[in-house]
Amino acid sequence: MPELLNGRATNGNSNYKETPYSPVLESEYGEYRSLTERMNRRIQSGDPWYSLEFFPPRTANGAVNLVSRIERMSEGGPMFCDITWHPAGDPGNTEKPTSSTCMAATMLNYCGVETMLHITCSNQDEDGLKRNLQKAKDIGLKNLLALRGDPPDGGDTWKKQEEGLNYATDLVKVIRREHGDHFTICVAGYPTGHPESTSYGDDLRHLKEKVDAGADFIITQLFFKPETFFQFLRDCREIGITCPIIPGVLPIQAYQSLRHIVKLSRLEVPKEILDTIEPIKDNDEAIRNFGVEQCFQMCRELLKHEDVHGVHFYTLNREVATIEILRRLGMWVEEPCKPLPWKQTANYVRCKEDVRPIFWRSRPKSYIHRTSNWDEFPNGRWGNSSAASFGDLTDYYLFYLKHKTPKEDLLKMWGEELNSEQDVWDVFHCYISGCPNTKEVKVCSMPWNDEELSPETNLIKEQLEAINKRGVLTINSQPNVNGAPSSDSKVGWGSPNGYIYQKAYLEFFTTKENGIALKKILKNYPQVNYHIVNKNGEEDTNCDLTTPIAVTWGVFPGKEIIQPTVVDPIAFKTWKDEAFELWKHPWGNLYPEGSQSRKIIDHIFDSYYLVNLVDNDFPKDSCLWRIVEQMLEAGRQTSSVEEMDVNGQW
């Protein structure tokens, strides 16, 4: 009976279709897989990948834009993104937006993309190098591209230094000696020879040395014809280089930049390319169209080769051309898989993380930042993990949030002058509804949101609009869901053929009158768990003091239940401080001290309640809207009785 006993399936998901080119699903969470391992899996499955190279921008604003671009491009499913080492830009600085290491940390931890940092050894003593390696490790990096680096004096020729490291081979050796197998190491290959090497043959031998010293794979310098690469590949294999060799390609995007690159890398552009672009050199669009077509054709040729498993793009920090080429190659992931309802980081330390409190759903970067010192991350369920303490809010420095929207733009959105609480309520209403404010400006962000409204919020948008206008200032919410398919475009996540569940959740600020009214009303709703708290932490709740409540969970074939979002009473104490503080900073601080506008925000900060409500009876229509309606009705009556008490004294 051999047919029964032979075929042990090695993968529980063998029956389920996997989206092609989906590195997110491929690696999934739960176990960190090194870049080498992931490459080998893709090589075995015959599923080619791509990677994207960027360089650090010169200004903080440029950095903000690049982070946004990398966030967008990481949606398309690159195997990894890499950032070049810019020796003049204080590259080891982890706080400076324009430094290589800071950018790598941001890509890895906040954009959630597998990241590789270039690192060079020239013009640097071994101690400095070691410090940089340690920093790379500390921020959570697992991948380095080891390069010798350009001449220190900016001159054309490189001179061997007496002290220090002179070759990429030495650098690879130091990385391996100091950090063992911690890093996956990539090295550069030069299909047309390194410009400074004595010969193509010498160059190949140096490459072999780099690999023998411990490099895991090779990315090539750019080239313009597939044959150039194929010849190089043959020559490498000939001398015994067996690791993956990834062709690096450049979509030509402008005449000037091509000339610049060619000059730097001392490459020769083939005559047929020059002949084609010279006549159109002033027509940017025509050049780009040519570049896309030329690069697409070359990639297609390259990927036909049985020993080519991926392509590396020199993006020049631009997205349009590269995305177009990837789309035409069928490698761009149009509908990215969400393994979990929220986006994970790519930091290996957090690879098992699969539960978070719902509170930071619209401020994931703040959550990542405040938990970055945790030794372990909640896995499987929140359980007692909430015992770990959150980092301080005052430490919350993330350059691309700070620089994202200038003060004048915030004032235009949130009101240059506030005359009443209703003015504040209207800002919330505009944010939810998408309607422009009285100054015809769209309110596209709020202090409580890193990002735009999630698509699922649209499911309850009408209700939210109505209550925000009336002073129920919602900052977080989700509808109840009773077994939606995991493929659902709004609420779906996780692997195919699963079922998604949610308990209805509503979190809002509201007036003290409403808070008082709410407490009485909630006595009639035993199925609802609630927290009602003011800025001083005076709290009313019917929740257990330590037990988290799962509010989002999924049931999948062949797995345990996954419960990625919880309402945790302990984490809520931390979140409550952050949520109240956001009234003052950034909002209140926009206005001069003593101004009417500032006083209104201060009054809200001092007197409003932060409320959260969980309707545990998820299979039935949510009762939360009825509760809010009753609260508004009761609060209105109280309010008219206590009208005299305008100073927030109670």
- The footprint of its own copies (CB under 8 A) covers 1, 3-5, 7-16, 379-383, 482-483, 497, 499, 501, 512, 515-516, 519, 526-527, 529, 532, 538-545, 547-550, 553, 555-561, 563, 566, 614, 616-619, 650
What does the block give as tokens for 242?
A: 């067996």
Nearest CB to its own copies, comparing residues 3 and 306: 3
593's CB contacts (< 8 A; 6+ apart) are none
Helix then strand count (H, E) for the chain reads: 22, 18
Q: What strand order describes the sheet that includes 499-502? A: 356-357, 562-567, 549-555, 499-502, 481-485
Query: Which residue shows structure tokens 């597998």?
Result: 114
d(CA 576, CA 67): 28
Cα dihedral 238→241→245→248 (10° resolution)? -80
DSSP-based three-state secondary structure for 78: coil
Give dist(CA 94, CA 407) in Å, integer.
26
- Sign, Cα dihedral of 382, 385, 386, 392: negative
> Residue 146: how many CB atoms within 10 A of its CB?
29
Classified as helix, coil or strand, 200 is: helix
What lies within 8 Å, CB to CB, of 438 at 6+ separation is: 426
Nearer to its own copies, 270 or 558 (CB): 558
Residue type, 385: S
- CA trace torsion 518, 445, 615, 459 (10° rounding): 120
CB 388 within 8 A of CB 371: yes
Catalytic site residue from 53, 324, 507, 578: 53
Q: Which is nearer to its own copies, 219 or 567 (CB)?
A: 567
Answer yes or no: are the C-beta atoms of 527 and 624 closer than 8 Å: no
User: Judged by CB, which is closer to its own copies: 267, or 551?
Assistant: 551
Determine the Cα–Cα distance for residues 210 and 547; give it in Å rounded to an integer: 54
CA distance 572 to 613: 12
| CA distances (Å), origin 137, targets 86, 117, 175 | 18, 11, 11
Residue whose C-alpha is closest to residue 457's, from 484, 475, 439: 475
* 3-state DSSP assignment of residue 597: helix
Question: Tell me, what amino acid is at 44?
Answer: Q
- Rounded to whole angstroms, the Cα distance separating 383 from 566 reads 10
Residue type, 590: L
Q: Are strands 217-222 and 184-189 parallel, antiparallel or unpaired?
A: parallel
Angle at 506 between CA 505 and CA 507, to 5 degrees: 125
The H or E element containing residue 553 is strand 549-555
CB 145 within 8 A of CB 188: yes
Instruction: For residues 7 and 240, give the distance between their C-alpha atoms in angstroms, rounded to a whole number.
Output: 35
> Of the two residues 161 and 616, which places its CB atom closer to its own copies in the complex?
616
What's the half-sphere exposure (Cβ side, CA atoms, 13 Å) at 334? 5
> Which tokens go with 165?
């490291």
Phi/psi region, residue 316 (left: phi>0; alpha: psi -120 to 50; beta: rest), is left
Closest residue by Cα to residue 46 from 309, 243, 304: 309
Least spacing, CB of residue 9 vs its own copies, in Å: 5
The answer to whether residue 95 is catalytic is: no
- The answer to whether 100 and 84 have CB atoms below 8 angstroms apart is yes
Describe the strand order of the beta sheet including 539-541 as a list of residue ranges: 473-478, 504-510, 609-615, 528-533, 539-541
Q: What positions carry a catalytic annotation?
A: 53
